[in-house]
Chain A
Amino acid sequence: MEAEVRTPPTICGMGHRMKRKEDARFLFGKGRYVDDIKLPGMLYMDIVRSPFAHARIKSINAERALAMDGVVAVITGKDLEKYNLHWMPTLMGDTQMVLPTDRVMYQAQEVAAVIATDRYIAADAVEAIEVEYEPLEPVIDPFRALEPDAPVLRTDKGKTDNHIWHWEVGDREATERAFQEADVVVKQQIYIPRIHVASIETCGCIADYDPVEGKLTVYMTTQAPHVVRTALAMVAGHVGLSEEKIRVISPDIGGGFGGKVPIYPGYVIAIAASVLLGKPVKWIEDRSENLQADSFARDYHITAELAATKEGKITALRIKTLADHGYTDAAANPSKFPAGLFSICTGSYDIKHAFVEVDAVYTNKPPGGIAYRCSFRVTEAVHAIERMVDVLAQKLGMDPAELRFKNFIQPDQFPYKSALGWEYDSGNYPAALRKAMDLIGYEELRREQAERRARGELMGIGISSFTEIVGAGPSRHFDILGIKMFDSCELRIHPTGKAIARFGTKSQGQGHETTYAQIIAEELGIPAEHVQVEEGDTDTAPYGLGTYASRSTPTAGAAAAMAARKVREKARKIAAYLLEVSEEDLEWEPGVFRVKGAPDKSVTIQDIALAAYTNHPPGMEAGLEAVHYYDPPNLTFPFGSYICVVDIDKGTGQVKIRRFVAVDDCGHVINPMIVEGQIHGGLTMGFAPAMMEELVYDEEGNILTGSFMDYLLPTAVETPRWETARTVTPSPHHPLGAKGVGESATVGAPAAIVNAVVDALSPYGVTHIDIPITPYKVWKILHEKGVV
């Protein structure tokens, strides 16, 4: 089902599979990523990192490094302390070291920085710096962190234990009662491991301070340049960096996925170095630094319980979670949501009672708690509920599809108020699951499975019927550092009828230069080819909160539509003047105002644009432009149903995904080609943590997966051949009926895969497997359960 296409291909509004406007520069090798930028006199920064997870720094000796040809400076925490810049706030109101003055808190933490004339010399100098450490007892296991005799990590904050915060939502007592009255209760421990987004471009920046103008320009791999500018002004205002003198430029970004939202110490050190030296300083981390020190995602230890009637009607959900945040809470959630949107965990089901609590702890691991292509902990929530529904189905001996149909929120229940407080905007869950089942041939697969089981073969079918929550957010609930989570579009129509549109978001591959142009084409009838889209320069773009959490279409996409409609209203006035009729006598079709009843009397949007500068009505301001800051009335709730079929090799434990059908519903589609691409990529980033990826630490806090040698990203060989389809249930409150789609598949896919593997092994008493499902893990289960 395609969205209704209202414009001809010459205009290329919504619903067209328009080829991307941004492609050419990337295909010709002319993309402009941060490491491609070279400034005159630029210096290079490299970083000394801690070999210990927890240690006291006894001394740092930089003499040998400073004596090397080409080494310009060495910066330590003591140097930054003079300016009170050795600590910085995190987005969650915690504090993080820029460079340490006394203690290091995780392996690979920044200890000192070298500035040199060449990146090779900087790397040599890093080796020449001598740091003496006194190792301290590390706290690695988050459960150990809560034991009374565990070393207290954040004594700097006056803490007496390692507990960060407790957060709860829902009705504890009513949920308790529902559990007491239930026919059936299932309970499962689910660990959602620590993983890393590992975008193929790592993080980096060029800080360029002009001592004469007092202006700082920072080219930075950031998904949220405006927030970075404001944060820099807040943190470094006392050393003279005032917001109007800070320009953050986010050039082409080689993938973000949430990993380029935080402000990492490396950025701040490079800025400090540039200010101190008065020269541009480039810092580009390598892959090991990226995996070992940048924000991780997930790391949730979940205990989930479902209560149900014996007929399979779910009556209550209860979840208790321990969140390992590393040594500081550097999540990138909206301020009021320490556990993000985890309370979407009632999922696609009409569950009357629910109670969720999360406790966060400090450990000697890198800080974070960011998303991995996910809207603030939604993957954790979806994984928990979609796993639990299968655990319950297994307990009841019921088909997992049947159990889902029995408990789905029904189409006539929308808008639906969930037990944990969300108002779901729209959905048709049975239709999506039915479509997925038809596409994959569900009943036939179940028959095949029965035959294979009889022969002792291991085949499994797994379902995930997820609901997402994206597009933060309504500003009454959502802010970052107090800044409300609206987003913006500034649209100008030139005299020749071409346009430029600037946004507060920042594409990292999502195709904004094309989709935003299509939205404006849809609303104004100006060909999308003629709409230039710009983002990422805080000196020119309107303020916005950036691109993450699938928020660009729900917020900035809506802002584009609203700005275009403002332009159209002014255009109507000009058209009425040009045609010498009243505004009410005009009707609009894409790109043209016509006089009602006299359709040959018309003016095009291009005629109107020219008139706006050459012949505008007396008393009217010249020009044709508009700005809109869009504050969504609600979040949007994309959903979908995925079905995965696996075969397991008994000899090796290898799981082979035979088929994977994904039916997604993101409301009205702007560009079906781009949406499919987003889903392909999202599915692969769902497959990856389900089967391959995990950041693993030993008991001393040494990272065991610190490079692509050990942190496995899927290649084209492992990645399944995705089959995608769509249903369309528009959002009732979004101006275009759209919902956001970049992360749905990452959120929904892992549970379908695990459910399939558990289904294959369920005859042998297996009820759960934690991700990643490695061959060794399955092989062990096969042996423990006596399958082989």
Chain B
Amino acid sequence: MATQKVTVTLTVNGTTHTAEVEPRLLLVHFLREHLNLTGTHIGCDTTHCGACTVLMNGRAVKSCTVLTVQADGATIKTIEGMAENGQMHPLQEGFHVEHGLQCGYCTPGMIMRAAELLARNPDPTEEEIRWGISGNLCRCTGYVNIVKAIQYAARKLREREQAAAGS
């Protein structure tokens, strides 16, 4: 069932990659198998769990439901691209401080989804956070501390914004 391969170019976490891929190759497999970015996980086959969430041109997408060819020319950000100079992003910090992770499997997807949420709504209510992450399943935490982690990050990011505006 091998089909003719297609050339795609993607910018992932700031690095541009050109590759020959099968048209059916899922983005999540491209990231994990071709680029060895294994921080993005697979948890279901029906787009329900959100473990594979990444940012595509700034939007959170479930990379198990995106074909690599659909991402041709796109800018992708994965969990590996969140920290800057080894410093945790406020969301990573929030998950650590608020104990927002246990087994860690849903965490990268949860963080990427939350990143988009906070980019669109810097000061979400608890209700908005809960609805915002309702496409991401966590089996360990009961979501309580995930909500707190996102609130922590929202606070941090706002403070950072204010500091930047003030200086």
Contact = CB atoms under 8 A, between A and B. Distances in A.
Nearest to B147: A716
A33 B146 CA distance: 21
Interface stretch (B66-74, B132-140, B154-162): B132-140
Contacts of B131: 716-717
A685 interface: yes
A26 B102 CA distance: 9
B107 A683 contact: no
Given A20-B99, A33-B41, A509-B104, A716 B134 contact: yes
A202 B43 contact: yes
B43 A509 contact: no
A716 B130 contact: yes
B152 interface: no
A681 B102 contact: yes
Contacts of A511: 102
B78 A29 contact: yes
B133 A716 contact: yes
Interface in A481-518: 508-511
B49 A708 contact: yes
Nearest to A119: B29
Contact of B103 (A121, A197, A198, A253): A253
A716 B1 contact: no
Interface string B1-42: 110000000000000000000101100010011001111111
A717 B130 contact: yes
Contacts of B55: none
B145 A677 contact: yes
Most B Cβ at <10 Å: residue of A33, A119, A197, A674: A33
Contacts of B78: 29
Contact of A680 (B29, B41, B97, B144): B144
B107 A27 contact: yes
A423 interface: no
A29 B139 contact: no
A509 B103 contact: yes
Contacts of B80: 28-30
A: interface residue count bin: 35 or more
Most B Cβ at <10 Å: residue of A674, A683, A717: A717
A684 B143 contact: yes
A719 B32 CA distance: 31
Contact of A29 (B106, B108, B142): B108
B146 A673 contact: no
Contact of B46 (A23, A26, A287, A509): A287
A68 B2 CA distance: 10
Interface string A14-33: 00000110111111111101
Interface of B: 1-2, 22, 24-25, 29, 32-33, 36-46, 48-49, 51, 78-80, 82-83, 88, 92, 95-97, 99, 101-108, 111, 129-131, 133-147
Interface of A: 19-20, 22-31, 33, 35-36, 38, 68-69, 119-121, 124, 197-202, 252-255, 257, 286-288, 508-511, 673-674, 676-677, 680-685, 707-709, 713, 715-717, 719, 721-722
7 contacts: A27-B107, A28-B92, A30-B80, A510-B102, A681-B140, A708-B44, A716-B147
